[in-house]
Each structure stands twice: as structure tokens, then as C-alpha cells.
Amino acid sequence: MGNLKKSIFKLLLENRREAKEYQYTVPSPDSYPYQWLWDSCFHAIILTHYNTGDAKKELLSLVAKQFTNGMIPHMNYWQEPEKTNFPKIDWGKEDSSSITQPPMLAYAVWQIYQKDQDLEFLSNIYGHIKRFYDYLLKERDPRGHHLVSIINPDESGEDNSPRFDLPLNLPPKQTIEENYKKRLELISKNHKCNFDAPFCMKNFFWAKDVPFNSILVENLKILSSIADKLNFDEESEYYHHQASLIKEAMRSLMLEDGIFWSTYGKDYKKIKVKTWAIFSPLFAKVATDSEAKNLIKNYFLNPDEFYLPFILPTTSKSDPAFDPKGFWRGPIWISTNWIVFKGLKNYGFEVEAKYLLDCSIKLLEKSGFREQYNPLTGEGFGARNFTWGGLIADMLEN
């Protein structure tokens, strides 16, 4: 494992970029040569196993581009790379996008603090993270129903996931181009909205995604611990309470027959598409023990669903949208493996967690640091020198 840990650090160093006094890591030099929000949180989590100083710099560059309303954009364009095949989109902004991504920020901050107990860092970054979560709680839940919405599939981090076919009005079998066209149309509507979420963008796409809300619950609990550490007692209580409210709302509005489904529209229509997202509530302990057991027995360990030659596919083999080469419609991504790994650990599924880790290592050994992997063959796809395989360094320490 020593060699694997070394090659992960080498990759992160190669993908490191500097701009003015800031430092960040690009997910892949050719395909993704900018800074992304949840990627940088993953990078910081990985870097805590090597050097917390670098982990802090990764997050400080991220929050440097926070909007005045608290939103943190999902992409920051610090500088133009020499060459890239990344199709740049007009988000109506010079140096960043206008949408966000799954809120893994408090988690990354807390992991850094766990490693080096640097209270000064915690105190310096607290204002930023607080404003980010306040933004999500207010602007993305204007009716106060305690589930936050995303306004574009890309905000989920899973651009073409079949979870969003219904709200986008697309069939389960589709091309990547058809999906991309729909998402571009959405962005042009959002332009006309001036990217105002609660009053305008919600008319075009407004989905309550299970992983986004699960990640939010876990991060609000952590934000409460951070506030407590800084002696902000009332704020600590407030965030803890918000986490429980979202957990309850997930249980009452998303749960049916033991599975949490993402929903869309005003009346919470459930999107019954089986993706890895059904396991994401385990990350935030939103499911009961018996719900977790059912998910593992009937879905995780079921060869007709998710237990394929390589795991964990992002879409179940039994779903009509399943495509082992379809980006987020089947291939394995190490980030989602990491989230499920943490969830399995939360419920004591040690054997399954170890198997998921071993499988992730096997993929890396077989196909290198790729963006995604075919769950039937282990073949690597998409971006090369992609950083997320580095999350294995974190899984190995657990």
C-alpha cells in the first residue's frame, strides 16, 4: 500500500496549480483544468493524510470566490490552461460558474482540524462555511420544508445521472449529446433569471436530490461541532436542529418501501430510478438499521442490481437507464464508492466496506487514475490523471 499512497501524493502534486497567493488542485490537467467545489473538498480530505497545510490552502482558495449571498460556485477559473479539451460554458461570470455543488465543505474542514487541532484555521474559515450553509438553508428551501433543492443536474455533481431524466423530460435511453443539450438549454433559461434560485430558476428545474440532502445533513452536524468548538453555543444548537429537521423531512417526503428517492416539483414527485443514491442516506445515518440491512441484502449484494463484477456501479443493472459506459449512468466513480464506504462503516457492515475498498484498489491497479470505470470489465474511461482515486488514501485510514 506504501506505493499506492506515494502515487496518490505524486498525482496531487502534479495537478497542483498556483494563482496569486492561492493554491488549488485541478481534477485532471487535460479534461478538467480549473477548480471544482466538491473536488477541492475531496482533495483536502486526501491531503490531510499527507500535509494539512496544503489541505487548508485548497479550501482557502475555494472560499475566496464565495458570492456575497454565501453561495460557493462549483467552478472557479483562476487562470487559463495552455491547452484543454474542456468545453467552457458561459455562466454569466468572468471567473467562476453561477451554480454550486454537493456541500462537503464542513466535512473537509473538520477532518483537517481532527488532524492538527489548528483552532486559528477553524476560526478563520468558520464565517465562510457558515454563510455557505445558511445560503443553502434559506435560498434553496424558500418554503421552509427542510429539504434543499438543486437548480441544475450539474449541482448534484452527477451531470447526466438518470435521476434527472424525468425533470429534464428525457427517456432512459439517450445519448450524452441529448443530455448535454438539455442542460445547456437550462443554463440559458437561468441566464434570463440572472441565476436567481428561489424566485426564477426554480421554474425550470427544481429537484430535491437524496445525496445532496444526505451530504447536507452530515455536514450540518459537523458544522454544529465546529460552532461548539468555537464556543458559538446557539449556532451549534441551530445547525444541529437543522440537520434533524432535514433528516425528518427526508424520511417523510422521500422514503417509500424502504428506499429514499429524489423528488422533483412542488408536490415532491418521487423519481424511482435506482442509482447508487439509494445508499447515500447511510452516510448521514438517515436510515434505520433495518432499512440499512434491507438495502445491503437486496440491492448492494444483489448481482441483478449493484453487485456486478466490479462495484459500485452508479446505476443499477436492473434499471432501464443502465449503461456500463454511460458516464453517471452505470460506471463506477471512486467518490461515490467513498461515500458508500463511509455509510457502510456507520452501520457496522465491515465486510462489505472492506470489499468495496479492495474493489476500488483493484480498479486503480488495473486501469490507473481514471475518471470512471466499467463495472462489468474494470476498464477505465474519461479523464486521465484524475484525482478522485486518491480518496482510497482516506479509505485505507478508516
Residue 38 vs 260, nearer CB to ligand GLC: 38
Nearest to 253 by CA among 245, 243, 263: 263
Residues 219, 220, 222, CA angle at the centre, nearest 5°? 65
- Using CB under 6 A, pick the residue from 29, 39, 103, 343 that binds ligand GLC: 39
How, if at all, do strands 269-271 and 207-208 pair? unpaired
Shortest distance, position 15 Cβ to ligand GLC, whole Å? 11
CA distance to 242, 350, 379, per residue, from 364 (Å): 38, 21, 10
Shortest distance, position 225 Cβ to ligand GLC, whole Å? 26
Binding track over 241-270 against ligand GLC, x by CB under 6 A: ------------------------------
Cα–Cα dist 322/329, whole Å? 6
Shortest distance, position 75 Cβ to ligand GLC, whole Å? 8
Binding track over 118-157 against ligand GLC, x by CB under 6 A: ---------------------------------------x
Q: What is the DSSP string of 15-81?
A: TEEEETTEEEE-SBTTTB-SEEHHHHHHHHHHHTTT-HHHHHHHHHHHHTT--TTS---SEE--S--
Contact 385, 16 (CB under 8 A): no
* Count of chain residues binding ligand GLC (CB under 6 A): 7
Shortest distance, position 46 Cβ to ligand GLC, whole Å? 14
Shortest distance, position 281 Cβ to ligand GLC, whole Å? 20
Cα–Cα dist 55/92, whole Å? 30
- Using CB under 6 A, pick the residue from 24, 36, 78, 164 that binds ligand GLC: 36
* Residue 375 touches ligand GLC, criterion: CB under 6 A: no
- Using CB under 6 A, pick the residue from 30, 118, 159, 228 that binds ligand GLC: 159
Shortest distance, position 382 Cβ to ligand GLC, whole Å? 8
- 262: enclosing H helix or E strand: strand 262-264
Residue 236 vs 360, nearer CB to ligand GLC: 360
- 207: enclosing H helix or E strand: strand 207-208
How, if at all, do strands 255-256 and 207-208 pair? unpaired
* Residue 32 touches ligand GLC, criterion: CB under 6 A: yes
Where along the sequence are the contacts to ligand GLC (CB under 6 A)?
27, 32, 36, 38-39, 157, 159
